[in-house]
Each structure stands twice: as C-alpha cells, then as structure tokens.
C-alpha cells in the first residue's frame, strides 16, 4: 500500500515506518522535525519536511502521491506541557487534524489509523480500563486527542472516511536491532529517564510520590513495547482493508508495573545500582492506568508479545548504541 505517515520521523512514527518498509509498503513521511529526527528516516521512504497545518504544503503532498491510507502520529504529546500551554495542543493537534481530514476528503483518501491515548479516559478507580469507560480527559492533551477522535467520527458520517483510533497506554522500548529509539528533548518519560542514570547522564532517579493508592505507594502504568504497538497499526490497516467499520481500541498489556518495579527491573537489565530518591507528586498523575486489550485481540487479532524486560532491555540497547540519541 501507499502509506502517508504523518509524524513519521518521531519516536513511534519511525518504528511504524521501519516495520511498513520491511513489509513492503511504500512509505511517504510528513514531519515538521520539531520533535522528530531526520536521522531516523530510512532512505527508502519519501520525505516531506513541513507542517500538517500548512494547507498548501499538505495539498502538494497529496497531489504528488497516490495515498491509500494515512497513519497519523503528528501531535504534541506532553501531558504536563499541555496544562500550561493548552492552545498549543489545540492548534497543533486539533487544527492540524482538521487540515489533514480536509485534504483526505479532497483527495478521496478513505482510511486513517490514528494515534490516540489513554489520556482520553482521565482518572478511573477500577482497572483494567475497557473501551466502554467514560472519557473524561484531565489534560488539554487528552482533550485534544478526544476531539480528534470525534472529528474522525463525523468525517466518517459525512464522507465515509473509515478510521481506527488506537488508545496507547505507556509506550516504551526501542527497535530490537537498536537502530531507532526514544530521543526526546526534554525527556519526561520514566524509562528513558531511569536509563540516564546508568548512562551517567544523571546521578539518581527521582520517583514522583509514594503515597498513591497502590500496593507500594508509587504510580502503576501499563507499558507496551513500541514494536508491539506499531504492529497493531498494521493490523488496524488490514482491518480497514477488509471493509470493517470505524473503531476504537486500547493498546496495553493488561499488566501494571509500579514506578519502583520499573526501577528494580532497570537495575537487573543494566546491572547498575541505580540510586533513587523520592520526590513530590507530579501534578495530574493518576494512581493507576492499566488497559484491557481484549477488543484488539478479538477484532484485530493483536496481542502484545514482549514483556517488561524486553521493553527496558531494548531501550537500554538503543541508548547504549546512541548515548547522545540521534545527535552523534
């Protein structure tokens, strides 16, 4: 297929691009390189540097390429930043998606796989979270993802545009061959920050709060290996190709790990003592976020194949091979 990958130079997008090329798809990448890395773009992919909010630019991309489906990763994705810069999130994420859907309609592209988030659910008491749970985002980031899902719903009603929205839980890890991985600046995610200690880029890890309602007091998250995650996007494309209706799926592993368990696993994987300090709670962190993936298993034939050691081990492999990320 000819796949237009918006945000294809980013952390998750680049892993999707790698897999798609391995499967023989033709890949066109659009990325403004604000958080994406040019170094992650394979030679086999066609690359357009630009912003999806730029109607003239995006129109040109659609005019120059026959697009069978869009895979939409292009978004700002920091929950904390969204609390202080909400309009950035509505502009980049929501407005960007308006232009994308408009261009898809104009150029008669009828399929989109969308990168959504557990942040659409907000806080819930009872785990695991199913797709039936109420959506009450607690951040502009989560709200922007929910609005984007709703826009796709109405684009389906109006133009017959079919979408699969994938609500990611905590994505981590790197490609098994250590060629691509997570390189954010600033880094805010737990696993890459933990690994900065054995990489000697920080002296200790600070765990934000130990008075949450969990078995050891630290937050619990559901980690999903980025390679398992992008595989679900391929399965979502197949699902759309089979003529199925638009749908929403959680992507998680049904297993939660506390922040302390993550540090402990990283100690084992890296063989480093990994000194740790306890800090204050980080505002907006829910106690526990764990997903069921039964719907994706049933309708997409998808299940995660990698465990937490694989997640942390592959991230460690990438960071050891690229201690300065993509900068070298």
Which residues sit at the interface with ligand UFG, rule CB under 6 A? Answer: 77, 79, 117-119, 141, 170, 188-190, 193, 206-208, 219, 221, 259, 282, 285, 289
300 Cβ neighbours under 8 A, 6+ residues apart: 232, 235, 236, 238, 239, 249
74 Cβ neighbours under 8 A, 6+ residues apart: 6, 7, 10, 13, 30, 31, 32, 52, 96, 100
87 Cβ neighbours under 8 A, 6+ residues apart: none
Among residues 48, 89, 141, 163, which one is catalytic?
141
Q: Tell me how far the alpha carbon of residue 294 is from its chain's centroid.
A: 19
Residue 91 is given by DSSP the state I
How buried is residue 42: exposed, middle or buried, by Cβ count under 10 Å (0-12/13-18/19+)?
middle
Task: Give least dist CB 206 to ligand UFG, A.
Answer: 5
Residue of minimal Cβ distance to ligand UFG:
219
Q: Compute how many other C-beta atoms are within 10 angstroms of the C-beta atom of residue 305.
A: 11
In terms of CB distance, is 52 or 251 closer to ligand UFG?
251
In terms of CB distance, is 182 or 310 closer to ligand UFG?
182
Task: Give least dist CB 229 to ligand UFG, A.
Answer: 12
Task: Give least dist CB 262 to ligand UFG, A.
Answer: 7
In terms of CB distance, is 12 or 41 closer to ligand UFG?
12
Q: Tell me how far the alpha carbon of residue 64 is from its chain's centroid.
A: 28
In terms of CB distance, is 69 or 191 closer to ligand UFG?
191
Task: Give least dist CB 312 to ligand UFG, A.
Answer: 12
Q: Does 141 qualify as catalytic in the annotation? A: yes
Catalytic annotation, residues: 141
């Amino acid at each position: 297929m000819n796949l237009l990958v918006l945000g294809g130079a980013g952390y998750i997008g680049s892993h999707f691009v790698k897999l798609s090329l391995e499967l023989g798809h033709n890949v066109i990448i659009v990325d403004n390189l604000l958080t994406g890395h040019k170094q992650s773009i394979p030679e086999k992919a066609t690359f357009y540097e630009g912003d999806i909010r730029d109607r003239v630019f995006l129109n040109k991309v659609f005019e120059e390429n026959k697009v069978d489906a869009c895979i939409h990763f292009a978004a700002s994705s920091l929950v904390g930043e969204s609390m202080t810069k909400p309009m950035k999130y509505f502009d980049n994420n929501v407005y960007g998606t308006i232009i994308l859907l408009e261009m898809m309609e104009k150029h008669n592209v009828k399929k989109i796989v969308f990168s959504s988030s557990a942040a659409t659910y907000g806080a819930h008491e009872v785990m695991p979270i199913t797709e039936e749970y109420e959506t009450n985002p607690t951040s502009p980031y989560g709200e922007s993802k929910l609005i984007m899902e709703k826009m796709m719903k109405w684009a389906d009603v109006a133009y017959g545009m079919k979408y699969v929205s994938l609500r990611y839980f905590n994505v981590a890890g790197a490609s098994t061959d250590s060629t691509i991985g997570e390189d954010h600046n600033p880094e805010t995610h737990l696993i890459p920050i933990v690994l900065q200690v054995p990489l000697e880029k920080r002296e200790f890890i600070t765990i934000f709060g130990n008075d949450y309602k969990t078995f050891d007091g630290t937050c619990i998250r559901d980690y999903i290996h980025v390679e398992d995650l992008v595989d679900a996007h391929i399965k979502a494309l197949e699902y759309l190709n089979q003529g199925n209706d638009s749908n929403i799926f959680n992507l998680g592993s049904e297993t939660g790990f506390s922040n302390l368990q993550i540090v402990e696993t990283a100690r084992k994987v890296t063989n480093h003592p990994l000194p740790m300090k306890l800090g204050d709670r980080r505002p907006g962190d829910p106690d526990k976020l764990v997903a069921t993936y039964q719907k994706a298993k049933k309708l997409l034939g998808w299940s995660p194949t990698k465990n937490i050691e694989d997640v942390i081990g592959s991230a460690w492999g990438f960071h050891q091979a690229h201690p300065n990320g993509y900068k070298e």
